[in-house]
């Protein structure tokens, strides 16, 4: 699938969603050009040069947002379904998606990226706050 089509689908699926952490943050479409050096490009995009970077499995990252809880009311269930739809959209458009985390504590920049047909890395960016 082409970069622009993937970004449009991801933007639609993530519209209005805030990723829950100590501060809830929105998702934004994000792309790196083909052949970009991932660590340096992400450090620059995050504004955190020299910060540690790690990767995380897609399912592990989304687990807290897509797992039903007994205490969920109608609004929480609706949000849960939206996150499940977002995860399904990511899997369908970016089967090789990886979660990149830039930073160890405080504000951590999150990049969910996979390859488009033109070899560009595309996906979503958000933040989590962990203290």
User: Could you list the pLDDT tens digit for every one of the 131 residues in the chain?
Assistant: 899 999 999 999 999 999 999 989 999 999 998 889 999 999 999 998 889 999 999 999 999 999 999 998 999 999 999 999 999 999 999 999 999 999 988 999 999 999 999 889 999 999 999 88
Give all domains of the chain, ordered by start, each with its CATH number. 3-130 (3.40.1460.10)
Residue 60 to residue 99: CA distance in whole angstroms: 9
pTM above 0.85, yes or no: yes
Residue 73 to residue 102: CA distance in whole angstroms: 33
Question: Phi, psi (5° rounding) for residue 86?
Answer: -60, -45
């Amino acid at each position: 699938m082409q970069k622009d089509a993937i970004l449009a689908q991801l933007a639609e699926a993530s519209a209005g969603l805030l990723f829950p952490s100590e501060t809830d943050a929105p998702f934004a479409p994000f792309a790196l050009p083909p052949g970009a050096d991932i660590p340096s490009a992400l450090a620059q995009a995050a504004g955190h040069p020299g910060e540690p970077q790690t990767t995380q499995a897609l399912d592990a990252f989304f687990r807290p947002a897509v797992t039903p809880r007994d205490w969920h009311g109608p609004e929480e269930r609706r949000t849960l379904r939206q996150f499940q739809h977002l995860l399904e959209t990511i899997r369908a458009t970016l089967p090789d998606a990886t979660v990149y985390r830039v930073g160890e504590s405080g504000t951590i920049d999150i990049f969910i990226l996979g390859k488009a047909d033109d070899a560009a890395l595309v996906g979503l960016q958000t933040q989590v706050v962990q203290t």
